[in-house]
Amino acid sequence: MQHRDTQPSPISIPQLRADTTGQVLTPDDPGFDEAREVFYGIDHRPAVIVRVSNEADVARVVSLARETGIELAIRSGGHSLVGHSVSEGGIVIDLGDLKDIEIDSDGRTAWAQTGVSAGEFTKTAGAHGLAVGFGDAATVGIGGITLGGGVGFLARKHGLTIDALLAAEIVTADGLVVHTDPQSHPDLFWAIRGGGGNFGVATRFQFRLYEVDDIVGGMLMLPATPDVIHSFVELAENAPEELSTIANVMKAPPMPFVPEEYHGRVVLFGLVAYAGHVAEGQRVLAPFRELATPIIDMVQPMKYRDIYGPDEEAPHPTAVAVRTMFIDKVDQGAAEAIVERLEASNATMAAVQFALAWLDYWIVASFAERDTSALDWS
């Protein structure tokens, strides 16, 4: 959000601190460098970061950005691939202190503020045997992933994160707090569910909750031969809709749980969740284990609220190049090309991710650090 036809006006930091109740951080304040860090390592230095404490703070900062013409960035969890979570020389609204979650277990709905992380929401709702699907990382903020669509562990059974959105509270560009749903401001509700963004700052969401308690899920790491990749995709495509899979074909990272002899070798890092009867889930997942001798097999019956594992921040990569595309199938030729490109890459990290959202619809993304050779698909 920026007025590009005029020169920005200066910000009065003392006035901003007087007008807001949240913490205001400038480059001279302790903790500023930590506060400006984002997951993908984008090195921007905003003029000020406001850790808002309520909707009124958000409205005041939005109004300030409009009045001064200074660029405004919104941070929920800080996982934006293109850097929308931070601004160079602008204002950042950090929603991370907005953590309220209200669960209506009888009505199977929930209101949650947009500073809540996917892991925090999943654990809170999971205490009631309920869930919303939020992607594959616990630290992602629900603000960004919801407005971005949200492909996760419940995608095939219950759709994208945004399919569970019932209502929202939005601070619009004129500083007003607006409730939007299919009856109230329906055009705005349509817009935030795929209209392209920049319609305001979402501060609260109401979600439909799904009954998801006991599942079979976890991580399965296999050698990434073309046959294994092609067969994994084929099995996932033909599995019941209760099974959602996210498969990363990548060079194995030197992490403690990965056997040392596989460090740097191309592997298939599969994340799976069967949101149905446990016994049936074990049966459905058995063929995946039989594709090759597993390097790591952590797939087991669990509570859905434990799908993200330990509450800890993953290492922050530096994403220099990313490509996303839809393809109809991953045949043998595509699998061979994937392995060839990854083995040839000298990037610190190179990966191709498949996420099956619906039958016959695959999202493919490639990531690389400091080298883009893995992204050359010509």
What is the C-alpha to C-alpha distance for residues 148 and 84, in angstroms, rounded to an integer? 12
Residue 256 neighbours by CB distance under 10 Å: 5
Nearest C-alpha neighbor of 56 from the set 203, 205, 197? 203
**CATH number for the domain running over 214-375:** 3.40.462.20
- The closest of 8, 44, 10 to 27, measured between CA atoms, is 44
Q: Is 281 helix (H, G, I), strand (E, B) or coil?
A: helix
Q: How many CA atoms lie within 13 A of 230 on its CB side?
A: 11
Structure tokens at 315: 């290492």
User: Which pLDDT belongs to residue 317?
Assistant: 59
CB atoms within 10 A of CB 24: 20
The pLDDT value given to residue 314: 55
Which residue numbers in the chain have pLDDT < 50? 2-3, 358-378
For 31-39, the CB contacts below 8 A with 24+ separation are 35/94, 36/86, 36/92, 37/78, 37/316, 38/75, 38/78, 38/79, 38/80, 38/83, 38/85, 38/86, 38/316, 39/77, 39/78, 39/79, 39/85, 39/139, 39/316, 39/317
Are 170 and 178 spatial neighbours (Cβ–Cβ below 8 Å)?
yes
Contact 179, 185 (CB under 8 A): yes
Hey, what CATH class is 101-211 in?
alpha beta
SS3 call for 49 = strand
In the CATH hierarchy, which fold is given to the domain comprising 23-94?
A: 3.30.43
Contact 38, 85 (CB under 8 A): yes
The pLDDT value recorded for residue 349 is 75
Specify whether the backbone of 283 is left (phi greater than 0), alpha (psi in -120 to 50) or beta: alpha
Among 360, 159, 156, 363, CA closest to 241: 156
Domain boundaries, given as residue ranges, for the chain: 23-94, 101-211, 214-375
Phi, psi of 51 (to 5 degrees): -85, 90
Single out the residue of 71, 78, 85 nearest to residue 62, CA to CA. 71
pLDDT at residue number 198: 83
**What pLDDT score was predicted for residue 378?**
41
